[in-house]
Amino acid sequence: MTDKPTSGLGAVDEGPVSSDANSPQGAGAPANPDDHPSVAALMERFGEAVLHHEVTSGDQHVVHIDPARNREILGWLRDDPEQRFNHLADVTGVDFGGGQPLQVVYQIWSIPYRRGLRVKCLLELDSLEIDSVAPLWNGANWLEREVYDLFGVTFRGHPDLRRILMPHDYAEGHPLRKDFPLRGRFSRAEQTRRALNQDVERFYIPEERAIGREPQDVTLPTGSESDEGSASDG
Amino acid sequence: MAQKTVEFTVGRNPEMGIDGLPTRSPLEPFEVGEPDLDSEHMLINIGPQHPATHGVLRLVCELDGETIVKVTPHIGFLHSSFEKLGEYRTWNQIVPLTDRMDYLAPLIYNCAYVMSVEKLMGIEVTERCKVVRLILMELDRIFSHLLWIGTTAIDVGAFTPFLYTFQERERIYRMHEAYTGGRITTSATRIGGMLAELPEGWIEDLKHFLETFPNTLAEVHRLLTNNEILIGRTQGIGAITPEDAVSWGLTGPNLRASGVAYDVRKDNPYYDYETYDFEVPVGEHGDCYDRYLTRMEEMAQSVKILWQALDRLPDGPINVPDPDISLPSKTDTMSDMESMIHHFKIITEGIKAPPGDCYFPVEGSKGELGMYVVSDGGAKPVRWRVRPPSFVNLAAISQMAEGHLVADLIMINASLDIVLGEIDR
């Protein structure tokens, strides 16, 4: 057999096939900005920073924005009295493989106006950096940590950018990237060796280890003194 | 620090005279240094293997005396890379992964996943399928809340409600088993329909459950709602303001207890929820007690929805009548050539989804459960992402627990209703 198996058990070792045929931008139908009041306002306010607008799955509006201005645009969407997208439902990443840009996807929802919007930022693989939105929404803290952990995107200005699901000393990379094999980069023997050699202290983050000082000195009466006291009784 | 040794005189009481009467002996004061009370912080580690963490969760607390200064949750002990595994499977093969995430409400996860994929594929399921899925989701909302009430009551020292709620859960377990064959790992849904038609007598079982369940709910109310211990342990504990709750991304009963009436069933309705007559209970203080009351009332509302759904349950096929999506019946597969070919193609190649992506939120038992699926036109997803409600809810614990006692941390953690299978995925 020369051709690669694309289904069945053999496909597990091959890894996901990168989808070169599909460009991350333009998968959905082109859309009229007037169908979604927020998109129209967004285009009017930010103009060229809104790169693309499409509709997928029937009625879901997606806007691609300039990654350099994500915090500014999302902050405006959150605060503008006409938009009020105050609920950040999700932050996640999408890797299409094949060297295509990695997507950072924000699902936002406006509780007062009852409408949703998906905002995407495309990051080239050699510059996986974007501003954190944790200053805007507290909930972004863990969601961005997860994208950092599983995709390797660095969030500038994040208060606590650490791995969250994988161990702190995980050395095999970022598992949800398409170039990451399903069973990890290291051999099973190496993975076992690392698991057995773990240093327990590493499970604390540095600030945690700095909590508390040495125990205070408590001076107890010495043994000879207490012996004398009891001897006089007897 | 040098190690101190203390010697005790064993076998002889120094304060006792020869005649056996107590004698006075001078008390020797210990030389204790002046304690430095205001700067000494302590590090305490709870979990990952501790019954009060409701799963494999590790909480590292910085304490000032018994007051929590900071709590840092460490998660990932149950990480099973479900999302990565999903990229290697066809759309239908992912269904069994979904119920292993939230094993406390597996059917909600089954349904949420296929609903998202169907939206991506543009499949409109039959009316009967919609109502059946709605019934299963509301049933599992009760299922999940019952476990929450029982285990949380144990955390505050009340054991009896646990027995009451688990008796009711057992009946739902049996209904799971009668329909799907599994008690926890249900895997009940397929793209375009369900795994099977409802078994005979199932609806009658459900009706019987709905008739008797409110009695148990009333008993739990009597046991807990005015219980002084529960009130003392929960009122004013772990309170969070509506603004903070929204900022942290809280959803579900945790958000509504703070007074924000955001419920996906009302705000972004699916499966005709807007035509059902039910109310969304909303709390006032955002503390643990309000979360308890919200969940209790949600169960009563779910019963109400279930009665309405049973009334309108239509007859007809449960799977979409499209041979490219639904599997033919086993009889047809064995006797009819075309059915066999369709069966073979669906099983071996899977169903293809058009390129695009879809985010479909539903109101799970723990909060907004969103399934985000990305397709490149193939039979496997490029990305399958679960917006995990417990994961986002748990992140807020660091703010909620600040300034409370360690014992309250257990209650706050319990009140969030987390399930670690879904947090770690």
Best probe of the A interface among B41, B78, B241, B359, by most A CBs < 10 A, is B359
* Cβ-based contacts of B392 with chain A (< 8 Å): 139, 142-143
DSSP, collapsed to helix, strand or coil, labels residue B112 as helix
Identify the pLDDT of residue B149.
92
Tell me chain A's radius of gyration from C-alpha atoms. Answer: 27
Q: Which residues pair with residue B385 across a beta bridge?
A: B372
Helices (H) and strands (E) in chain A, counts: 7, 9
DSSP, collapsed to helix, strand or coil, labels residue B345 as helix
Please state which of the ranges B62-66, B96-100, B160-164 shows the lowest mean pLDDT.
B62-66
Contact check, Cβ <8 Å, B356/A21: no
DSSP, collapsed to helix, strand or coil, labels residue B59 as strand
Who among A86, A213, A233 is closest to B14 (CB)?
A: A233
Contact check, Cβ <8 Å, A234/B357: no
Nearest C-alpha in A relative to B361: A89
* Cβ-based contacts of A141 with chain B (< 8 Å): 395
Q: Which residues pair with residue A198 across a beta bridge?
A: none
Quick one: B73-424 is in which CATH superfamily? Cytochrome-c3 Hydrogenase, chain B (1.10.645.10)
Contact check, Cβ <8 Å, A89/B361: yes
Among B180, B115, B176, B103, smallest CA distance to B144 is for: B103
The secondary structure of B193-260 as a DSSP string is: EESSPPPTTHHHHHHHHHHHHHHHHHHHHHHHTT-HHHHHHHTTSS---HHHHHHTT--THHHHTTT-
**Residue B28: partners with Cβ closer than 8 Å, 6 or more residues away:** A221, A225, A226, A229
Contact check, Cβ <8 Å, A215/B1: yes
* Cβ-based contacts of B76 with chain A (< 8 Å): 163-167
Contact check, Cβ <8 Å, B14/A213: no
Contact check, Cβ <8 Å, A143/B7: no
Who among A166, A211, A214 is closest to B62 (CB)?
A: A211
* Cβ-based contacts of B91 with chain A (< 8 Å): none
Identify the pLDDT of residue B15.
56
The secondary structure of B20-48 as a DSSP string is: S-B---PPPPPEEPPP-TTT--EEEEE-S
Nearest C-alpha in B relative to A213: B40
Query: Residues A66-73: what's their mean pLDDT?
Result: 90
Please state which of the ranges B6-20, B55-69, B206-220 shows the lowest mean pLDDT.
B6-20
Condensed to tens digits (0 to 9), the pLDDT of residues B383-394 reads 999 999 999 999
Identify the pLDDT of residue A199.
73
Condensed to tens digits (0 to 9), the pLDDT of residues B256-301 reads 999 898 999 988 899 989 899 999 999 888 889 999 999 999 999 9
Average pLDDT, chain B: 87
Please indicate whether residue B377 or residue B251 has the higher confidence score (pLDDT).
B251
Pick the CATH number of A25-164 from 3.30.460.80, 3.40.50.1100, 3.40.50.11890, 3.40.1160.10: 3.30.460.80
| Separation in Å, CA of B387 to nearest CA in chain A | 6
Query: Residues B227-243: what's their mean pLDDT?
Result: 88
3-state SS record for A136-203:
CCCCHHHHHHHHHHHHCCEEECCCCCCCCCCCCCCCCCCCCCCCCCCCCCCCHHHHHHHHHCCCHHHH
Is B26's pLDDT higher than 50?
Answer: yes
User: Per the confidence metrics, is the pTM higher than 0.90?
Assistant: no
Nearest C-alpha in A relative to B387: A90
Nearest C-alpha in A relative to B368: A89
| Separation in Å, CA of A180 to nearest CA in chain B | 10
**Domain parsing of chain B, residue ranges:** 73-424
Identify the pLDDT of residue B106.
92
Identify the pLDDT of residue B230.
87
Identify the band that residue B14 occupies on the pLDDT scale cut at 50, 70 and 90.
low
Query: Residues B318-334: what's their mean pLDDT?
Result: 87
Amino acid at position B406, single letter = V
Tell me chain B's radius of gyration from C-alpha atoms. Answer: 27
Identify the pLDDT of residue A4.
47
Cβ–Cβ pairs < 8 A, chains A and B: 207
Query: Residues A105-121: what's their mean pLDDT?
Result: 91
ipTM: 0.83
* Cβ-based contacts of B385 with chain A (< 8 Å): 90, 92, 94
Among A49, A114, A104, A36, smallest CA distance to A76 is for: A49
CA angle (B356, B357, B363) in 5-degree steps? 155
